Amino acid sequence: MKFGIRKQRNHLGGCRLQSGPGSLILESGAEAATPSFSDDGKNTIASQLVSRLREAIISGQLEAGSKINLDRAKQSFNVSLSPLREALARLISDGLVEFEDNRGYRVSPVSLSNLEEITSLREEFETYALRESMRVGDVEWEGNVMRALHRLNRAERDASKPETLEQWEAVHREFHLTLISGCRRPLLLNFCKTMLNLNDRYRRTFLTRTSGDRNVSVEHSEIAQGTVARDMDYACDRLREHIHRTGTNLRRHLAEKGIA
């Protein structure tokens, strides 16, 4: 007996979860597009908060390293303490939030060494997962890869339009996750997803546009083509280069901003 939009008769009246002044208004347009599926796993306030907080951190709206004041966060997200704490606790696993007893939560700081670890772990883990996917992935997975590539190529990335940036980020993330989704290893996929999140935070914070000497579309296409052709070495080498180049670019931008 679950269909359509949930009743959600909580204490907040109609204007539930509206956000603070000017910022943090998230994912309110997207879910209107698919109204009958809007309740997959985001029924509770705590779960909604996990998504909203994650997005706020990855997008850079919540500054890296900054302390998360519970009272203020409570107000700007218009929620009460219990779901907020629970959501933050879950975000620790993502590496996006840190916690210390009696000192509360803070947004994980960024650093050069952290970025370098993320990059090298992505190189290792994502190519491993890609290889496994090519080994055991089925035809449906291949189709998903091609579809994800197509969507990515169609999505334009115009820095002047924030909504296209959001959209590009979503399909880009989806592309990388689809590539490795054939491997049938939930724990590995979960870890790769976490690393991708962390990486995206750096990209969205420090990289407004790609470096001139890259054609990222071609890189994506080569990876995808090699993948569906099951050319393991070729696909993995392209993917590794792709990850490595982004890491190098990011490292330069961090250095420019004086981040150690």
The answer to the question of residue 152 lying near DNA (CB under 7 A) is no
| Cα 30–Cα 126–Cα 49 angle in degrees, nearest 5 | 35
Cβ-count burial of 228 within 10 angstroms (0-12 exposed, 13-18 middle, 19+ buried)? Answer: middle
SS3 32: helix
Q: What is the smallest separation between the CB atom of 126 and a copy of itself, expressed in angstroms?
A: 13
**One residue of 27, 86, 231, 237 binding a copy of itself per CB under 8 A:** 86
Q: Which helix (H) or strand (E) element contains residue 161?
A: none
Task: Please identify, using beta-carbon distances, which residue of 72 and 252 lies nearer to DNA.
Answer: 72
Task: Please identify, using beta-carbon distances, which residue of 51 and 221 lies nearer to a copy of itself.
Answer: 51
The answer to the question of residue 107 lying near DNA (CB under 7 A) is no
Q: How far is CA 155 from CA 76, 130, 240, in A?
A: 32, 23, 23
The answer to the question of residue 180 lying near DNA (CB under 7 A) is no
Q: What is the smallest separation between the CB atom of 127 and a copy of itself, expressed in angstroms?
A: 11
Task: Please identify, using beta-carbon distances, which residue of 78 and 111 lies nearer to a copy of itself.
Answer: 111
Q: How far is CA 215 from CA 210, 220, 229, in A?
A: 9, 9, 21
Q: Which residues contact DNA by CB under 7 A?
A: 2, 6-12, 43-46, 67-71, 79-83, 85-86, 101-105
